[in-house]
């Protein structure tokens, strides 16, 4: 079942990339054919500690796939959904026109620090309706 889900995710990622728009930057500081675009991608895994103390920064390792060698991490988009809960989406960027095709796995850190005790729920987007949920207990 996990292999089917991963295969479906990769197919969805490729479809999204194939229909997304690309743009070329053409100002005087860049080469006229420098391709650049961004796209939200789903995570494939999130690992790290699940406990912390108040004001202690912990680091989670967030893994995701990009479609080719030009893909890399741009930023996290965070959307609070409740008091101690937020949805987090990975924004990937693609820079360059001459890219080697093939899915590339990337892992980047996500830093979390709570200023109050409680249970915090971080929902990392896999798709628009599925999430990798990490619960962190802060004491």
Domain parsing of the chain, residue ranges = 2-138
Q: Indicate whether this model's pTM tops 0.85.
A: no
Q: Note the pLDDT of residue 29.
A: 55
Give pLDDT tens digits for 11-67. Answer: 555 545 444 444 444 444 555 568 999 999 999 999 999 999 999 999 999 999 999
Give pLDDT tens digits for 54-109. Answer: 999 999 999 999 999 999 999 999 999 989 999 999 999 999 999 999 999 999 99
How far is Cα of residue 86 from the mean position of the Cα atoms in its chain? Answer: 14
* Residue from 44, 6, 41, 34 nearest 99 by CA: 34
DSSP 45-60: EEES-SEE-TT--EEE
């Amino acid at each position: 079942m996990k292999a089917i889900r991963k295969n479906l995710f990769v197919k969805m990622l490729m479809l999204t990339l194939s229909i997304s728009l690309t743009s070329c930057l053409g100002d005087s500081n860049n080469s006229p054919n420098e391709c650049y675009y961004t796209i939200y991608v789903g995570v494939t895994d999130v690992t790290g500690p699940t406990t912390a103390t108040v004001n202690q920064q912990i680091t989670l390792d967030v893994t995701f796939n990009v479609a080719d060698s030009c893909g890399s991490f741009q930023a996290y988009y965070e959307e609070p959904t409740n008091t101690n809960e937020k949805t987090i989406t990975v924004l990937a960027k693609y820079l360059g026109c001459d890219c080697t095709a093939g899915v590339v796995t990337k892992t980047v850190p996500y830093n979390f620090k709570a200023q109050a005790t409680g249970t915090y729920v971080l929902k990392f987007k896999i798709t628009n309706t599925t999430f990798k949920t990490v619960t962190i207990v802060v004491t």
